[in-house]
Amino acid sequence: MRIITGEARGIALETLEGDATRPTADRVKEALFSMIQFDIEGRRVLDLFAGSGQLGLEAISRGASGAVFIDSSREAIDIVMKNAAKTKLKDRCRAAVYDFASYLENLREDDKFDIIFLDPPYNTDCMMRALALIAKRGALREGGTVVCETDTVAEERRRPKNAPPRDDAADVLHDVFSDDKGLMEKYAVTRTARYGRSRVTLLTL
């Protein structure tokens, strides 16, 4: 795993051993950043389920003004700061051990972000809960983007064998919003695409 481009291009990043984190594959990361490449310069970023911090650090490397990294694991945050130091981007990073819901619930009214990365553990309701809190707390600046990564394979396995195929809108409703139509109506889906087993979806309020 490495920084793909920008001022820290090519620098390898450390990750936690085992299943504690699930790093975004380089192919998916390249596709994700190609979607938002013109919306990064000077922006403030939140990497909410930070893991190794690779998404927030990639954004800073590409010109984001800074990033906040939140993870419930002390070990993950330690790795984030090691990677921030290794890439020489530490001065633009702020990291804290926090449950994502507690962090969003306690966000100040004036503490807003231009880009929010959501890549939570699969097979949980964390994505839906995070999106509900982002909308409730006004965490996204006007014109900002929430970048969601979901697992299509896990979702397909849970579907009935004879279920009809779904289109992108139905996939996003199910995979991203956990079939909560009311929550989905709060957001505009600006783009969604599948890359292998991962789906990347861009949202704005």
Output the pLDDT for position 19.
Answer: 47
Those residues with Cβ within 8 angstroms of residue 164's Cβ, 6 or more apart along the chain or in another chain: none
Q: 101 and 129 in contact (C-beta within 8 Å)?
A: yes
Q: 95 and 83 in contact (C-beta within 8 Å)?
A: no
Output the pLDDT for position 166.
Answer: 63
Q: What does the domain layout of the chain look like in residue ranges?
A: 26-204
Q: What share of the chain is helix, strand, coil (3-state, %, to 5)?
A: 35, 25, 40
Q: 53 and 64 in contact (C-beta within 8 Å)?
A: no
Output the pLDDT for position 159.
Answer: 52
| Both tokens assigned to 37 | 């490449």
How many residues are listed for the chain in this entry? 205
Other C-beta atoms lying within 10 Å of the C-beta of residue 18: 6
Superfamily of domain 26-204: Vaccinia Virus protein VP39 (3.40.50.150)
Output the pLDDT for position 122.
Answer: 81
Output the pLDDT for position 160.
Answer: 52
Q: Does the reported pTM lie above 0.85?
A: yes
Q: 130 and 118 in contact (C-beta within 8 Å)?
A: yes
Q: List the 188-195 sheet strands across, edge first.
A: 93-97, 66-71, 44-47, 113-118, 140-151, 198-204, 188-195
Output the pLDDT for position 139.
Answer: 97
Output the pLDDT for position 164.
Answer: 55
Phi and psi at residue 41, to the nearest 5°:
-55, 120
Output the pLDDT for position 80.
Answer: 97
* Mean pLDDT by groups of 10 residues along the chain of 205 residues: 94 78 77 95 97 96 98 96 97 97 94 96 91 97 96 58 68 90 96 89 96
- DSSP string computed for 115-136: EEEE-PPTTSSHHHHHHHHHHH
